[in-house]
Amino acid sequence: MIKRVAGTRDILPDQVNLWQRIEEISRKIFSVYNFSEIRPPLVEEEILFNRSLGESAEIIQKQMFLIKNGSDTYALRPEGTASIVRAYLENNLDKTNAFVKLYYLGPMFRLERPQKGRFRQFHHIGCEVIGSSDPLVDVEVISLADTLLKGYGIGGYKIVVNNLGCAKDKSGLSANLRKLLKDKLGELCEDCKARYARNVLRILDCKNKGCVEVVGKLNLSDGHMCAGCLGHFTQVKQGLAALKIDFEISPTLVRGLDYYTSTVFEIKHPGLDSQQDALGAGGRYDNLVKELGGPDTGAMGFAFGLERLLLVRGEEKENPSRKPVYLISLGEAARAEGIKLLSGLRGHNISSDTDYEGKSLKGAMRKANDLGADYVLIIGDDEIRENAVTLKDMQQGTQEKIPIGEVIPRLKTKLSC
Ligand code: AMP
């Protein structure tokens, strides 16, 4: 039998309800914050991600799903930000509507080693605010993440914030870190030894025990930040405090992608594996719009991993709220009458279904029960002769024969639709 690709999932009908609920809550809250939905394609030119995320990012180094097409190379999107900035510029939103607040829901693809909470196809719920460097945008975005989590019914998380400084500050921070770590290279894991040259900041959030110990002893401060970045960070902290949002500051919080500058944040949850304990993460990317050929304008966003939200929220299976009226037609004449009645019910928006498996009356009643049907309609030879239908109320355990023309009005009253 052909199996699904490792690290992908089938979201089955009894789980899909929960997914839809999270999506619904998200759409509602995004709209309360006046964000509009955007749906970029799942596939982009590879170079978009190389240029945005940076050649040294782990995603670019080893996690891209690439598709060769002649001399072109496409990539299944590993994240949403780069695509959205590309769409913002390609569709001239920078000229017509420079400041935008966008959200997105959808699958992302990373060729990672699959494990709990880490998939090769996973789903982001995210947003991007493009066109402003106002620190209050950072406050709005972090508070939106907090509101969404509350909306999903998730508690016990920790919001961790840091500021990497502007591009200049960030390279100062990298240089300082290289100096601090120069004599400690032997104590770092193999990955971090490679990161030292390529992406030294990433050593700060390595989960390897030895690396955590080395990093723990480093004297990190906000000394890398210029006056402008320090002022920005102060306003973000004050804004979050004013909104009574609990947060922690961690100088070791860095994001692995080149485009991040200034404010970065992550939301951790103890219900997740310590190796990948983030429900979501994001930050500012004030240089990306310009680097992709647009104006010099600030931007900020974040994304939650939907699978991880479900992991901590509990992925209990739910019965669908829909309870179809179940039609049982016994015999050929009844079946011919039945498909007309079914079509009539559906034409009146009454959720309804029938048996296509040749079940006996007993088997069909069992099926109606399994579906949670409150009402069952039975058409047999007697009913055909009398131009009637038997209407069974499954809750009350009663039944009556009614003229076929009365079925729909009667059910509409009972179901108040
Ligand atoms: P990132 O774009 O890596 O900052 O990811 C943002 C969020 O997406 C993370 O905090 C996770 O919740 C989720 N995420 C990232 N990669 C994966 C993955 N491979 N499988 C499941 N969720 C992921």
User: Which of 73-87, 162-176, 336-350 shows the lowest per-residue confidence on average (mean pLDDT)?
Assistant: 162-176
Q: Provide the residue count of the chain.
A: 417
Dist. CA 125–CA 161, nearest whole Å? 20
Nearest Cα neighbor of 289 from 106, 125, 98 is: 98
The CB of 134 under 6 Å from ligand 1? The reply is: no
Confidence class of residue 416 from pLDDT cuts 50, 70 and 90? confident
Cα separation, 301 vs 309, whole angstroms: 18
Nearest CA to ligand 1 atom 23: 305
Spacing, Cα 126 to ligand 1 middle (Å)? 11
% helix, strand, coil for the chain, step of 5: 45, 20, 35
Neighbours of 370 (CB within 10 A): 9
Contact between residue 115 and residue 97 where contact means Cβ atoms under 8 Å apart? no
Tell whether the model's pLDDT for residue 315 goes beyond 80: no
In this structure, is the dihedral angle defined by the CA atoms of residues 114, 118, 124 and 126, taken in order, positive or negative? negative
Residue pair 226/171 in contact (Cβ under 8 Å)? The answer is: no
pLDDT value of position 317: 62
What would the pLDDT profile of 249-282 be if each residue is shown by its tens digit? Answer: 999 999 878 899 999 999 999 999 877 889 999 9
CA 231–ligand 1 middle distance (angstroms): 30
Tokens 């069952």 locate to 376
Q: Pocket of ligand 1, candidates 5, 264, 307, 311: which has the most ligand atoms within 8 Å of its Cβ, to mutate? A: 307
Residue 334 Cβ inside 6 Å of ligand 1? The answer reads no
Tell me if 205 CB under 6 Å of ligand 1.
no
374: which 2 tokens? Answer: 């409150």
Structure tokens that stand for 294 in this block: 């647009």
Atom number of ligand 1 nearest to Cα 78 = 2
Alpha-carbon distance values, 331 to 141, 210, 391 (Å): 61, 74, 18
Alpha-helix runs per DSSP H in 79-226: 81-90, 93-96, 135-152, 167-181, 190-198, 209-216
| CA distance to 18, 106, 117, 314, per residue, from 310 (Å) | 8, 15, 10, 6
Q: Quick: pLDDT tens for 37-91.
A: 999 999 999 999 999 999 888 899 899 999 999 999 999 999 999 999 999 999 9
DSSP collapsed to 3 states, 164-186: CCCHHHHHHHHHHHHHHHHHHHH
* pTM as predicted: 0.92
CB 309 less than 6 A from any atom of ligand 1? no
Which atom from ligand 1 is nearest to the alpha carbon of 266? Answer: 10
pLDDT at 256: 78
Sequence-separated (6 or more) residues with CB below 8 Å from residue 391: 375, 376, 377, 399, 400, 401, 402, 407, 410, 411
pLDDT tens digits, one per residue of 181-207: 999 999 999 989 988 988 899 899 888
SS3 of residue 15 by DSSP: helix
Answer for the pair 412, 375: CB distance below 8 angstroms, yes or no.
Answer: no
For residue 38 the two structure tokens come to: 């955007």
pLDDT at 417: 64
pLDDT of residue 319: 60
Contact yes or no for 99/283 (Cβ under 8 A): no
149 lines ligand 1 (CB under 6 A): no
Distance 409 CA to ligand 1 centre (A): 50
* Beta carbons of 156 and 271 less than 8 angstroms apart: yes
Q: Does any ligand 1 atom lie closer than 6 A to the CB of residue 126?
A: no
How far away, in angstroms, is 104 Cα from ligand 1 center?
14
Distance from C-alpha of 285 to C-alpha of 307, rounded to nearest angstrom: 25
- pLDDT of residue 221 exceeding 90, the answer is no
Task: Find the 156 Cα to ligand 1 centroid distance in Å.
Answer: 19
